[in-house]
Amino acid sequence: MRVAIDGPSGAGKSTIAKIVARELGYLYLDTGAMYRAVTLAALRRGLSFDGDGSSIATLAENLRIDLAPAGPNSSGPTVMVDGEPVTDQIRSPEVGRHVSLTAAIPGVRRALVRRQREIAGQGGAVLDGRDIGTAVLPEAEVKVFLTASLDERARRRLKEQLGRGFGVTFDEVRNELAERDRIDTSRQMDPLRQADDAVLLDSTGMTIEEVAAEVMKLCRQAAGRLERAEAPRAGTPETAGYPATPERKEGL
Ligand code: CDP
């Protein structure tokens, strides 16, 4: 199955996606980390965020980004750019202020979405982002749109940023999230929006465990639907009424 978790900044997508991936034994892909990695590399190279963004799009096509799975004590997967670990650097306030500009460049999205589909195409996967249910994996079996009030999201993000050692205030964090929401929902290509078939989950006032349990319930329901959809195949005219041959049994 593919599990798509979309929503605005700080709604808890990556926390939930990691838990769900672990419980299902699936791969977890933090697509936001890829946009952040390109943004960090663009800032380091002094590329311009104004104009058509073509130099950043070229960078996105050629940049080596590696996402190693999360370790038992790490808060997320290790992110490597050009072979250098940048897991904390991509969460800096400066990257935060520029990442939505990077993500609005169509050439950047084309390059990263292609890579995301390749990675997710390898088997069971949980992806979180802004356009997973609408553009990256529109055929995903489970789609969740996870949100929370702006104040709650800002409180959660402030705690995270202070924990990482970044000296920021509540107002700064709140303004950054609001500005990112504005750019992400109004960009031309694949803006942030709830897919028609996504389940809306407002996590305001909910614990991590409660949200994860809700998403796991949706996964179990989807797995049940898939099983039921596949069951009639065992009784198609070709096979119905015939005892399965040993070869057939093995094949099943
Ligand atoms: O951690 P947070 O939820 O704040 O953001 P993120 O998931 O790391 O994503 C950072 C930014 O990347 C978002 O604000 C979007 O501008 C962009 N993004 C996107 O456009 N599409 C995605 N699938 C994932 C992220």
Name the pLDDT band for 233 (thresholds 50, 70, 90).
Answer: low
Distance CA 240, CA 113 (A): 42
* Rounded-to-integer distance, Cα 36 and Cα 91, Å: 8
* pLDDT at residue number 235: 53
Which domains, from first to last, does the chain contain?
2-216 (3.40.50.300)
User: Counting atoms of ligand 1 from 1, which one is nearest the CA of 13?
Assistant: 3
> Ligand 1, residues 16, 18, 29, 35: which to mutate, most atoms within 8 A of Cβ?
35
Nearest CA to ligand 1 atom 12: 32
Average pLDDT over residues 170-196: 96
The whole-angstrom separation of Cα 217 and Cα 222 is 9
Q: What is the pLDDT of residues 10-55, one digit of tens each?
A: 999 999 999 999 999 999 999 999 999 999 999 999 999 988 999 9
What number is the average pLDDT over the span 148-176?
94
DSSP code at position 164: T
- Mean pLDDT, range 91-112, rounded to an integer: 96
Those residues with Cβ within 8 angstroms of residue 192's Cβ, 6 or more apart along the chain or in another chain: 6, 7, 8, 130, 131, 181, 184, 185
Q: Which of 49, 52, 84, 46 is nearest to 68 (CA)?
A: 84
Structure tokens of 249? 């049994």
According to the model, what pLDDT value does residue 239 have? 44
Q: Residue 35 CA: which ligand 1 atom is closest?
A: 12
Select from 117, 124, 168, 134 the least CA-distant residue to 10: 168
Note the pLDDT of residue 60.
Answer: 97
Q: What is the pLDDT of residue 123?
A: 80
* Angle in degrees, CA 40, 115, 20, rounded to 5: 90
In this structure, the number of other CB atoms found within 10 A of the CB of residue 202 comes to: 15
Query: With a 6 A CB cut-off, is 100 part of the ligand 1 pocket?
Result: yes
With a 6 Å cutoff on the Cβ, whether 12 touches ligand 1 is no
Strand order in the sheet with 142-147: 27-30, 125-129, 2-6, 142-147, 199-202
- CA separation (Å) from 119 to 3, 7, 38, 62? 13, 21, 17, 17
Under a CB-based contact definition with an 8 Å cutoff, are residues 15 and 206 in contact?
A: no
Output the pLDDT for position 247: 38
- Residue 201, strand partner residues: 146
Q: Does residue 251 have a pLDDT over 70?
A: no
Using CA positions, which residue lies closest to atom 9 of ligand 1? 32
